[in-house]
Amino acid sequence: MAITKVMHMKASGKARMDIHLKHAVNYILQPKKLGDANLAGGINCLPDTAYEQMKSTKQMFGKAGGRQGYHFVLSLKPGEGTPEIMYDIAIRFAEKAFGGEYETVVAVHTDRNHLHAHIIINSVNMVTGYKFQYHEGDWKYKFQPITKARSLLSYRQAITISILLQISILRSLSASTSPISKAQAQIKYLKLYHKY
């Protein structure tokens, strides 16, 4: 898995300080980007009202200025995974990286030749009111290890195993002419697949 971007959203002019946050949330939730999979969700907020909830948290703690949020992008290699696996990886990453204390929106985009998930977090911790701190080097020492965590990598391993099993079953099916042999091969595949 590769991270393609980590960005922050600054406050804009005094009239609409949080406009960049609003645009970012609207961008990742575009139906044309989500495609048929339509996988979007939130942690501590609902995707459709995430911007308003984030804005309310900022106002509650008196932290409407400065950085408005952070935008992470997680990507899989072309042809790797499914939208559901990408969504699960992104949710797990967000839970581990942000400790469940930030309003977070996650959306899987299927509009490119590779699956990628966008994660937007509020800059204000909804429990403590402190602003999220991201410093140079945090990616390497704080976030990159999460992407290599066993719980996230197990999905990559499952993808590889699934592909190998599918190839094996297809070979068995193509070599067999008997309907019983084909059914046995499918049952064997299902039993092996569900182990992972």
Tens-digit pLDDT profile for residues 128-157: 999 998 877 776 767 766 666 545 545 555
145 versus 87: which is more confidently predicted? 87
Task: Look at residues 171, 162, 166 and name the one whose alpha carbon lies nearest to residue 194.
Answer: 162
> How high is the pLDDT of residue 191?
52
Mean pLDDT calculated for residue range 169-191: 56
Neighbours of 153 (CB within 10 A): 13
- First-to-last alpha carbon distance for the chain, in angstroms, is 19
> How high is the pLDDT of residue 63?
94
pLDDT band at 8 (very low <50, low <70, confident <90, very high): confident
> How high is the pLDDT of residue 124?
97
Burial call 68-103: b when 16+ CB within 10 Å, e when fewer:
bbbbbbbbbeeebbbbebbbbbbbbbbebbbeebbb
Whether 71 has a pLDDT exceeding 80, the answer reads yes
pTM of the model: 0.74
Contact of 74 with 16, CB cutoff 8 Å: no
> How high is the pLDDT of residue 163?
54
Mean pLDDT of the chain: 80
Mean pLDDT calculated for residue range 150-170: 53
168 versus 79: which is more confidently predicted? 79
> How high is the pLDDT of residue 182?
56
Whether 170 has a pLDDT exceeding 80, the answer reads no
107 versus 7: which is more confidently predicted? 107
Residue 59: φ, ψ to 5°: -65, -40
CA atoms within 13 A on the CB side of 148: 7
